[in-house]
């Protein structure tokens, strides 16, 4: 893929898993990066060095707690001030908790909604005036297959991700004539380090070899019977940030091995 025009890119949850894969992909295009995450200063220093080695024009880190609306809006302001502007906002940070609705702790519900839905709203709301002023912006919300369908015991996550898809459509309509796009990527199972640990735990529990345990896990949802790789999601984000994607907006892209086709 050809290099992007130099972009300033803000990625929440950009220091591990899918977020780090996207940060790395944009670093390779020579972008300026502002990544968020709840990690130690030493770990952040290591990650920024990795991104620098991959070609990022500059790298910055923020440990804002996105459960807090003021912290989220302050993060957006800092990113715009440090980089001069934010061309691409990727709302990737997310948390999960699993329990039946009648046993779901209210504080867990609130945390999940705050991080997975309210934080994207606050970040978008804070950055849109600047994007409008420059007549350019790319907003990419990392939703989930659970933004389109549901699974038992994931009420808060499913509700928040459905809300994020709705927010995506609304924002897209409001700024459609100002060269600002807003789209959602809805991944299925992506083989991150966290999912790898889940596969290993499933293998230990069932006695299956690692590969067979992974196939058994993913085949419950993915018709293709394969995990997605983080780079596949990163490639989609890169495409949506390009000028060629300027007429793609308000869309939710299912990268889920056929999960939501069933």
Hey, which residues are catalytic here? 157
Residue 252 bridge partners (DSSP): 184
Beta bridge partners of 36: 62
Q: Structure tokens of 198?
A: 């889940």
How many residues in the chain?
262
Spell 69-108 as b/e; 16+ CB within 10 A means b. eebbbebbebbbeebebbbbbbbbbbbebeeeeeebeeee
Question: What Å distances lie between residue 209 and 199, 205, 212, 213, 221, CA to CA?
Answer: 10, 11, 5, 6, 20
- Token pair recorded at residue 191: 């083989």
Hey, which bits of the chain come out as E strands? 8-11, 32-36, 58-62, 88-91, 137-142, 180-187, 252-255
Place of tokens 């691409």: 88
The whole-angstrom separation of Cα 59 and Cα 12 is: 13
CA terminus-to-terminus distance, the chain: 32
DSSP 5-18: SP-EEEETTTTSHH
Tell me the three state secondary structure of residue 190.
strand
């Amino acid at each position: 893929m050809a290099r992007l025009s130099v972009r300033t890119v803000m990625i929440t949850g950009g220091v591990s898993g899918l977020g780090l894969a996207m940060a790395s992909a944009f670093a390779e295009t020579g972008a300026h990066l502002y990544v968020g995450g709840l990690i130690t200063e030493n770990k952040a220093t290591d990650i920024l060095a990795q991104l620098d080695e991959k070609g990022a024009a500059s790298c910055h880190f923020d440990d804002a707690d996105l459960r807090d609306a003021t912290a989220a809006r302050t993060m957006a302001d800092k990113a715009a001030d440090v980089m001069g502007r934010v061309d691409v906002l990727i709302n990737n940070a997310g948390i999960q908790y699993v329990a039946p609705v009648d046993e779901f702790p209210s504080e867990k519900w609130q945390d999940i909604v705050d991080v997975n839905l309210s934080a994207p709203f606050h970040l978008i709301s804070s950055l849109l005036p600047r994007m409008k002023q420059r007549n350019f912006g790319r907003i990419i919300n990392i939703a989930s297959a659970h933004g389109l369908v549901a699974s038992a015991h994931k009420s808060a996550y499913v509700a928040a991700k459905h809300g994020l898809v709705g927010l995506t459509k609304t924002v897209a309509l409001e700024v459609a004539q100002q060269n600002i796009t807003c789209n959602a990527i809805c991944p299925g199972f992506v083989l991150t380090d966290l999912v790898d640990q889940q596969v290993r735990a499933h293998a230990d529990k069932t006695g299956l070899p690692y590969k067979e345990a992974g196939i058994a896990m993913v085949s419950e949802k993915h018709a293709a019977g394969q995990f997605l790789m983080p780079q596949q999601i990163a490639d989609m984000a890169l495409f949506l940030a390009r000028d060629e994607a300027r007429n793609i907006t308000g869309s939710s892209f299912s990268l889920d091995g056929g999960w939501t086709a069933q």
